[in-house]
Structure formats: structure tokens, C-alpha cells
Amino acid sequence: GAGLASLSAAVFLIRDGHVPGKNIHIYEELNITGGSMDGNGDPEHGYVIRGGRMFDEEVYACTFGMMESIPSLTDPKVSILDEFNAFNKKMHTFAKARLIDNEANILDSSALGFERADRMALMDILINHEDSLGKKTIKECFPESFFKTNFWFMWTTTFAFEPWHSAVEFKRYLHRFIHELPHLSDMSGVRRTPYNQYDSMLLPMTKWLESQGVTFELGCSVTDLEFKPSDNETTVTAFKCEKNGKETRIEISERDIAFVTIGSITQGTSLGSMTTVPKINDKHVGGAWSLWEKIASGRPEFGNPLVFDEHVEDSMWESFTITLKDPTMVKKIVEYTGNEPGTGCMMTFKESGWFMTIVLNNQPHFINQPENIEILWGYCLSPYKKGDFVKKRMVDCTGEEILTELLYHLNFKEDMKKILDTSICIPCILPFTTAQFSPREKGDRPEIIPEGSTNLALLGQFCEIKDDIVFTMDYSVRGAQTDVYKLLNLNKR
């Protein structure tokens, strides 16, 4: 794969392991690098961001450590970390409209809204060991009142938790982000990249790796791995791949290392348009899940992918990107919230049937975005439910219908026709976006270096890193860094 984890592994191999770039070969099923951290489009057809990411200075140590080694595309004398820091000195987040009701009233969300039973349940989950939670869901650990608190509405829309997700993962998030509790209502602890993360991070990483001689085989799907027969060791001897309908076998010597990304939070993505509805796909569209299922068959040390890829109805969400060719909507949002683009954060319509959240980032959000174009992004955590104004399930709606629902929630009815006529809203269904939050138990996620492995390292959001939190960039980068340091026997932290 050529996602964040794989590209980070290549960076650490070159920077810290002193491996020549020409010795590194990256195979990617798509025709572009970036994996799940994408961002593309144009003003004519509309832009698409499947997901948006935020940074936390106290949590993203590995990511920042990698970013300081990658030169900026605009000024090679500075790193993308320098660029990031300069941007965040200039742009400060202080959201003034975190929660909104169905009458378009901005709510006071400064109080978390806990009752005594909610506090006790939070303390209970914080102090107890993970083993005591097992495969429990969040819903099993909290009273019903907890899911009506401001805390829940803000926490769930910041991190994308659902009540049926893993209590263990929720516990890890509480430990990791507890310092953000005082900032939940204004999101003032959030840091962002100058552009979308593909343009600000993944593209510069790709360009730098290419300049180091790294080979990229795009449009090439890895379909299976071959292993050396052994009762106590795991050694990859070859892998099979398919490109342009042709199958190839690549041999792996004992001196080679195979880094394999397992699972995918964006596999099976389907896009709609202003007039068409995206499709709900399953794990059979794309190859990430089938590869993991193949190598895990009969090998418990490779985890249990079926825990994560069999429940699309529980792991699916829907996002949408709006390309605005007229300034009316952005001007009205700025007037309504008091936040200039990039200074606010998530705006959640807490009573909406679809549980909708939108974000107005700093503009331009894409490197190739013209001055007269602006971008708005949003997502919904309840896409199977009916809307409040468009009386349909979100999954059955076109981009025009989704934008209509949003405009009603904002009470921008007077300008609705003008905005609809000058905008492109592209809906995006992601079947596995929160699959890594699925209730699980020990062994369901494999170790990043499986027991007995001599030359195989696993990457991505579905490996196990003790105490760390998935659905973050740092999880992918930390896993890659750990893999490289361990397999190259580098005495580095």
C-alpha cells in the first residue's frame, strides 16, 4: 500500500536505517499514492475529501518527527513541519458554534452536562483494566443519560464514536485526550495543515521519496503472500500481485523485509453527484480485506479480519464535499457563527436525524483551488436515518438533497436556490470508516510484528499497538516507525 503508514515506513528506512531509496519498492492498488488520506478534484467537476483530520500537539509526536524530515513543495529550505507550525501560529481555532439545534440556534456547550451517574461511569472505565472490558460496547458501560450530554455530542462527532463501538477503544481515547476536555466546546487545542492532508503531507512525502529513488508500482494489487514452511517462524518468501489483468510473483529473499498494510478504512468508497446516489459496497470491492483474510487463514497470529469487515451497517458513515462557486454560503456561515474560515471547527446539528456535522476550513483547501472557489466538508454519523427536512435516509439522497437538508438546518432558506444553482455537492459512502472501533478482544488485531516473524511487518489501523489509539495519523506513523526500528535492530526510541 502507498498510504501514510507505508510512506512513513519508507521515510524511516531511509532517514534512520540508511537504506538506499532504490532498494525500496511500494506497491499500490490505486493509481495514486495517499491511501485513505486523499484530496482531489477541480472546480468544474467538484472537489472531494473523504475525511478530514485534526492534529493535537501533545499526541502526535511520531507524526511531527516524520514531518520535520520532509521538505515543503513551495520552499525546499523548510520542512512540512515548519510550514505546519507557521500556519498554526497564524490561524488559531476557537469555535463559536460547536452545537446547533434544529431551530438553527447556536447552543451554549461550555458545560459538559454530566449527572453523577455519568461521572461515576466515566471514572469506572478510566480506572479499570482493559481486560475487564473485553468485547463490551460503550453503551454497556454508561447510563442512558450519558448519551444526552454535551460531552457525548461533542466527543462522538470529534472522534466518530458510536454507542455500539468498543469500550476498550473509548477508554484509550479518554486517557489519550483527557487534556482536551476543557477545550471540547471551542476546539482550541486543534491544529491543522495549511491545505488538505494529501496536498500538505502525502504529496510532499511522495515527491521526496521519489527523489530518493523509491520505486512506486501504482495500479498494482497485492493478492497473496507466500511463507516458508516452519512451525515456529514466519518468513515471507514471495508475494503475488496483479497489474493490468496480469499476475506476477515477486520473490522475497531472507535479507528483504516485507511491510504489509492490512485492512482499509476507505476500501469500497462510492461517490455520488448532485443528481446520483452513491452505492453501499462491501468488503469484496477492492483487495485490502481479501489479502488480510488470506494471510490470516489458519494463522491466528495474523488476527481476525472478520471482526472488522463483516458489519458494514455498524462501520459505515457518509461524508460530503461541497464546491461553492458563489461566496454567498460562506459569507452567511461567517456572519452566523462569527468564525472566519479556518478559525472555527466542527458545527454539529445535535438534533438532526442524520446527526450532521460540517467544517469550513481555511481557504484555499486545495493547492489548485482558484480564488473564486470555496470548499465546505461535512459528514453524518446516522446515514441510515431519515432527514428532518428531506424526508429520506441519507444513503438514499443525491448531493442536491444533502445540500438542501444542510441549508434548512442553517436556516439559509432565502438563498437556497442561488446556493444550489452554484454548488457541487459530492456525497461519499465509506463502508469501513469506523471498522477499527468494532468491539474486539485480544488477538483480533495482530501485533505489528507478529510473533515469530523474521521479515514481516504489518502496517495500518488494524494492527495492535499497546495503549495507542486508532483512527489517528500517529497510529499509522508510530506503527511504521516501530516496525522499522525493530526489524533493522536500531537502538532508537
pLDDT in tens, 264-310: 999 999 999 999 999 999 999 988 999 999 999 999 999 999 999 99
* Cβ–Cβ < 8 Å for 140, 171: no
pLDDT in tens, 381-424: 999 999 999 999 999 999 999 999 999 999 999 999 999 999 99
- Give one word for 392, left, alpha or beta, with left for phi > 0 and alpha for psi -120 to 50: beta
Helix-then-strand count for the chain, H and E: 16, 16
pLDDT in tens, 6-20: 999 999 999 999 999
> How do 456-459 and 258-261 pair as beta strands?
parallel
pLDDT of residue 460: 96
Residue 435: pLDDT above 90? Answer: yes
Average pLDDT over residues 95-124: 96
pLDDT averaged over the chain?
Answer: 95
Q: Which of 173, 195, 379, 475 is catalytic?
A: 173
In three-state secondary structure terms, 330 is: helix
Is 173 an annotated catalytic residue? yes
Listed as own residue / partner, the contacts of 414-417 with beta carbons closer than 8 Å and 24 or more positions apart are 415/328, 415/329, 415/332
Q: What is the pTM of this model?
A: 0.95
pLDDT of residue 280: 96
Instruction: Say if residue 230 is exposed, middle or buried (CB neighbours under 10 Å; 0-12, 13-18, 19+).
Output: exposed
